């Protein structure tokens, strides 16, 4: 991967400071610790100005891609987000969600290509909310921001992405959400073929990036693949194809920058293990799947349970052991104030006994 | 005193034009950017459709240029052209009675099609790399072993709006057929697959060669463009395509992927054209005066074209056009000076 220099041709302006933060609807449910970790890392560790605005809403992207939200509606919602940013005194808009990031780029591009749609949106926004549309000076995904600050994070690192038992760099599969750069290659670090946004973090923090044949392939989320129940076989087939392709490289973990990808690469491992008993990690276990905030948090010495890593389907403890992370196993299932939140049953993906396997033919 | 004509470019078109002008009693001067004559055909292995060694064509031409004592400037870049001479990067001006632009084309840079991994994966090579390997007498994978399964991809940098190359490069289809046969001759047990959009066999003997590749050499032709290539753990190349004749997606692993790179217009065409007030075609090549009777004339009196500077052409067409250019220049000079 060291030969891969094409990412340098795909650069974009990333603001150094003063960010308006737009959260993701689904990440707050799937990986609630990650967005908090992002805010903590930027505010506390890096000391940059980031505004977490309670007034903003969903971008409605999933509804848009599912054909239940019209184009005019999503444009007006996006215009409102931008108006809120300007009212708060910011001009660098950053999005936690890859779907939203694609939406923001698509809407801005549509306004540029078809100015009449921008004028119409301005009118709708004014009529509906009384607000004025102010377009952002820069737009970035939050993984771009983490990429931008990767060297600063490396300087503050408590540990590197290295196996403390062998001294070898951890082998990391990076997975980029399709809507990060496949729609607008110029909007992503490294373009669409060899995105560098996560690879750059991995390399800066001491890990080795795994290049495997199905690296570019979609995780299988794909909105209609999953939202339409009859299509879920297609969703899991895509994840299965990727997992089969990466397994021979024996990756220590997967990191993704998209909410859907992170969840599906994690949870479909459970489903595959239940369906046919296949697991893809070492010792019959699954391959842990991290968000980039979790990866950064571990590098900076955050407690894995504070990062919310107990929400993962595939247990992360084998990875924590490789990294030399000290953690309290008992604290994994303790919530706020030390309250016990319950422990899920063992899952096949975490080495359950074969008799627990679901018999698909039954 | 002989009329003097400056020819910009010392490839096949430039050399042949110079020889034809010389035979007509006109003094040609070749200005070549490289340090030797020959252009893109230099170092090519064999020519389609006859498998004639390229050297058998190019070396005698270059030798005749030498024997005829045609004056050549080497390592000189022309930055300005006019009907009465050219200006070099060194600001030296070479006056002339007419100018022939024979600057040829630029090979499409396969790195730009990032999805194929050229320069990244060991056994992804271009058609030019393959010619050089064949010229060196040995075609192998990077580990020195023989390829058992080879894919040849047509139209890399041709008919591709994504990289701004809308035109057909004309010679790649037949080159792909020729190289497939050469590979089968070297590795008779290997499987060779040509992935194509359309097969364009326009020249004499081309269609016959295409048929021979299938019937005699059992080369497989798949109608579908490869969408991406990736390296497997054992350094083979996984490719994905759609077989559009069967309507099915296809995924296969090969030992070697050959990218048939197309012809691009030269990057300095806009500068050269602007210096003479000449128009360029939408694909960046110089625009000929008209498509029928003026294919070697520019829209400026005294400036002519030869070879692939106006469009992709085969070597045979290039050499034929060079004679036409010399004839047009000769006629122009006669008309110009006899009229005075």
Q: What is the pLDDT of residues A229-241, one digit of tens each?
A: 899 999 999 999 9
Check if B4-105+265-338 and B110-263 are the same fold: yes
d(CA A320, nearest CA chain B) in Å: 27
Q: Would you place residue B295 in the very low, low, confident or very high pLDDT band (cuts 50, 70, 90)?
A: very high
- The pLDDT value recorded for residue A360 is 47
- Summarize the confidence of residues B13-30 as an average pLDDT: 98
The string of pLDDT tens digits covering residues A112-125 is 999 999 999 999 99
Decide: A287 and A315 in contact? Cβ < 8 Å: no
Nearest Cα residue to B197 out of B216, B221, B161: B221
Decide: B28 and B17 in contact? Cβ < 8 Å: yes
- The pLDDT value recorded for residue B340 is 58
d(CA A6, nearest CA chain B) in Å: 8
User: Which residues on B lie below 8 Å from A214 (Cβ)?
Assistant: 230
**Torsion (CA) A120, A122, A128, A129 in degrees, nearest 10:** 170
Give the fold, CATH level 3, of B110-263.
Answer: FAD/NAD(P)-binding domain (3.50.50)
- Would you say residue A359 has pLDDT above 80? no
Residue/partner pairs of B48-55 with CB below 8 Å, 24 or more apart = B48/B171, B48/B174, B48/B175, B48/B177, B48/B178, B48/B206, B48/B209, B48/B314, B49/B174, B49/B178, B49/B203, B49/B204, B49/B205, B49/B206, B49/B208, B49/B209, B50/B205, B51/B178, B51/B182, B54/B315
How far apart are the C-alpha atoms of B240 and B253, rounded to whole Å?
A: 9
Question: Is B270 within 8 Å of chain A by CB?
Answer: no
How far apart are the C-alpha atoms of A259 and B225, rounded to whole Å?
A: 32
Predicted complex ipTM exceeds 0.90: no
Q: Which position has the token pair 């997967």? A: A254
- The pLDDT value recorded for residue A240 is 96
- In chain B, the residue whose alpha carbon lies closest to the alpha carbon of A211 is B231
- Would you say residue B49 has pLDDT above 70? yes
- The pLDDT value recorded for residue A28 is 85
Q: Quick one: how far is CA A295 from the chain centroid? A: 11
- The pLDDT value recorded for residue A336 is 80
| A248 vs B111, B230, B233: nearest CB | B233
- Would you say residue A184 has pLDDT above 50? yes
**Is the CATH number 3.50.50.60 carried by domain B4-105+265-338?**
yes
Residues linked to residue A20 through DSSP beta bridges, in sequence order: A51, A93
- In chain A, the residue whose alpha carbon lies closest to the alpha carbon of B253 is A213
- The pLDDT value recorded for residue A6 is 67
Residue bearing the bigger pLDDT, B80 or A29: B80
- Would you say residue A283 has pLDDT above 90? no
Judged by CB atoms closer than 8 Å, whether chains meet at A6 and B111 is answered as yes
- The pLDDT value recorded for residue B148 is 98
- In chain B, the residue whose alpha carbon lies closest to the alpha carbon of A247 is B233
pTM of the model: 0.90
- Would you say residue A362 has pLDDT above 80? no
Judged by CB atoms closer than 8 Å, whether chains meet at B120 and A193 is answered as no
Mean pLDDT value across chain A: 92
User: Which residues on B lie below 8 Å from A4 (Cβ)?
Assistant: 120
The string of pLDDT tens digits covering residues A157-169 is 999 999 999 999 9
Question: Is A3 within 8 Å of chain B by CB?
Answer: yes
The string of pLDDT tens digits covering residues A2-28 is 456 667 777 788 999 999 999 999 898
- Summarize the confidence of residues B290-314 as an average pLDDT: 96
d(CA A206, nearest CA chain B) in Å: 22
User: Which residues on B lie below 8 Å from A212 (Cβ)?
Assistant: 230, 233
- Would you say residue B272 has pLDDT above 70? yes
- In chain B, the residue whose alpha carbon lies closest to the alpha carbon of A2 is B120
User: Which residues on A lie below 8 Å from B230 (Cβ)?
Assistant: 211-216
Nearest Cα residue to A21 out of A6, A33, A36: A36
- Summarize the confidence of residues A296-302 as an average pLDDT: 98
Q: Which position has the token pair 């707050």? A: A28
- Would you say residue B339 has pLDDT above 80? no
The string of pLDDT tens digits covering residues A131-151 is 999 999 999 999 999 999 999
The string of pLDDT tens digits covering residues B188-202 is 999 999 999 999 999
Where along chain B do its domains lie? 4-105+265-338, 110-263
The string of pLDDT tens digits covering residues B128-168 is 999 999 999 999 999 999 999 999 999 999 999 989 999 99
- The pLDDT value recorded for residue A1 is 45
- The pLDDT value recorded for residue A4 is 63
- The pLDDT value recorded for residue A224 is 82
- The pLDDT value recorded for residue A2 is 42
Q: Quick one: how far is CA B131 from the chain centroid? A: 13
How many A/B residue pairs have CB atoms within 8 Å?
26
User: Which residues on A lie below 8 Å from B119 (Cβ)?
Assistant: 3
d(CA A196, nearest CA chain B) in Å: 13
Q: Would you place residue B64 in the very low, low, confident or very high pLDDT band (cuts 50, 70, 90)?
A: very high
Question: Is A9 within 8 Å of chain B by CB?
Answer: no
Judged by CB atoms closer than 8 Å, whether chains meet at B233 and A3 is answered as no
Q: Would you place residue B5 in the very low, low, confident or very high pLDDT band (cuts 50, 70, 90)?
A: very high
Mean pLDDT value across chain B: 96
Residue A265: CB atoms within 10 A of its CB come to 28
Question: Is B231 within 8 Å of chain A by CB?
Answer: yes
How far apart are the C-alpha atoms of A131 and B140, rounded to whole Å?
A: 66
Complete DSSP assignment for A188-206: STTTTTS--HHHHHHHHTT
- Would you say residue A152 has pLDDT above 60? yes
- Summarize the confidence of residues B216-237 as an average pLDDT: 96
Judged by CB atoms closer than 8 Å, whether chains meet at A248 and B231 is answered as no
- Would you say residue A352 has pLDDT above 80? no
């Amino acid at each position: 991967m060291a030969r891969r220099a094409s990412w340098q041709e795909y650069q974009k302006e990333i603001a150094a400071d003063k960010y308006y933060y737009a959260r993701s609807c689904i990440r707050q449910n799937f990986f609630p610790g990650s967005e908090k970790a992002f805010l903590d890392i930027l505010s506390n560790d890096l000391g940059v100005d980031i505004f977490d605005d309670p007034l903003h809403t969903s971008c409605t992207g999933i509804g848009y891609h599912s054909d239940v939200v019209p184009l005019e509606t999503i444009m007006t919602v996006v215009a409102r987000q931008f108006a809120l940013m300007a009212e708060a005194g910011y001009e660098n808009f950053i999005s936690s969600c890859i779907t939203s990031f694609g939406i923001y780029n698509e809407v801005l591009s549509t306004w540029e290509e078809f100015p009449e749609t921008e004028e119409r949106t301005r009118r709708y926004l004014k009529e509906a909310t009384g607000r004025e549309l102010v377009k952002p000076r820069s737009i970035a995904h939050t993984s771009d921001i983490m990429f931008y600050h990767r060297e600063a994070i490396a300087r503050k690192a408590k540990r590197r992405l290295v196996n403390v038992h062998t001294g070898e760099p951890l082998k990391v599969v990076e997975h980029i959400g399709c809507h990060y750069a496949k729609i607008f290659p110029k909007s992503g670090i490294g373009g669409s073929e060899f995105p560098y946004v996560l690879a750059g973090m991995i390399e800066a923090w001491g890990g080795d990036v795994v290049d495997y044949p199905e690296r570019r392939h979609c995780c299988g989320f794909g909105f209609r693949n999953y939202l339409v129940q009859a299509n879920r076989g297609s969703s899991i087939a895509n994840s299965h194809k990727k997992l089969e392709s990466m397994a021979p490289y024996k990756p220590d973990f997967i990191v993704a920058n998209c909410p859907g990808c992170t969840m599906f690469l994690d949870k479909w491992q459970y489903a595959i293990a239940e369906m046919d008993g296949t697991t893809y990690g070492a010792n019959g276990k699954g391959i842990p799947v991290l968000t980039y905030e979790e990866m950064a948090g571990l590098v900076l010495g955050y407690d894995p349970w504070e990062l919310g890593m107990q929400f993962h389907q595939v247990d992360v403890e084998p990875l924590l052991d490789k990294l030399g992370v000290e953690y309290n196993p008992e604290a994994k299932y303790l919530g706020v104030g030390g309250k016990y939140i319950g422990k899920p049953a063992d899952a096949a993906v975490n080495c359950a006994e074969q008799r627990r396997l679901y018999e698909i033919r039954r | 005193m002989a009329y003097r004509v400056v020819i910009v470019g010392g490839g096949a078109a430039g050399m042949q034009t110079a020889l034809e002008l010389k035979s007509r009693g006109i003094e040609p001067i070749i200005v070549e950017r490289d340090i030797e004559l020959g252009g893109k055909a230099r170092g090519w292995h064999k020519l389609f459709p006859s498998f004639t060694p390229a050297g058998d064509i190019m070396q005698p031409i270059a030798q005749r240029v030498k024997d005829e004592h045609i004056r050549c400037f080497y390592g000189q870049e022309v930055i300005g052209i006019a009907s009465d001479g050219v200006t070099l990067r060194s600001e030296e001006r070479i006056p002339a009675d007419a100018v022939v632009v024979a600057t040829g084309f630029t090979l499409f840079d396969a790195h730009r099609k990032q999805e194929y991994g050229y320069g990244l994966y060991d056994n992804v090579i271009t058609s030019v790399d393959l010619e050089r390997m064949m010229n060196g007498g040995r075609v192998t994978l990077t580990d020195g072993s023989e390829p058992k399964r080879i894919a040849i991809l047509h139209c890399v940098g041709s008919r591709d709006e994504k990289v701004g190359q809308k035109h057909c490069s004309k010679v790649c289809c037949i080159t792909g057929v020729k190289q497939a046969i050469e590979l089968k001759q070297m590795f008779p047990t290997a499987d060779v697959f040509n992935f194509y959009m359309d097969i364009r066999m326009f020249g004499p003997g081309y269609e016959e060669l295409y048929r021979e590749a299938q019937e005699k050499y059992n080369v497989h032709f798949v109608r579908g463009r490869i969408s991406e290539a990736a390296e497997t753990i054992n350094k083979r190349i996984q490719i994905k395509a759609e077989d559009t004749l069967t309507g099915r997606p296809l995924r296969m692993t090969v030992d070697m992927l050959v990218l048939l790179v197309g012809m691009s217009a030269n990057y300095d065409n806009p500068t050269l054209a602007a210096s003479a007030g000449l128009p360029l075609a939408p694909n960046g090549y110089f625009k000929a005066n008209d498509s029928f009777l003026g294919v070697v004339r520019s829209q400026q009196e005294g400036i002519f074209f030869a070879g692939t500077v106006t469009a992709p052409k085969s070597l045979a067409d290039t050499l034929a056009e060079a004679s036409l250019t010399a004839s047009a220049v000769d006629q122009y000079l006669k008309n110009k000076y006899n009229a005075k």
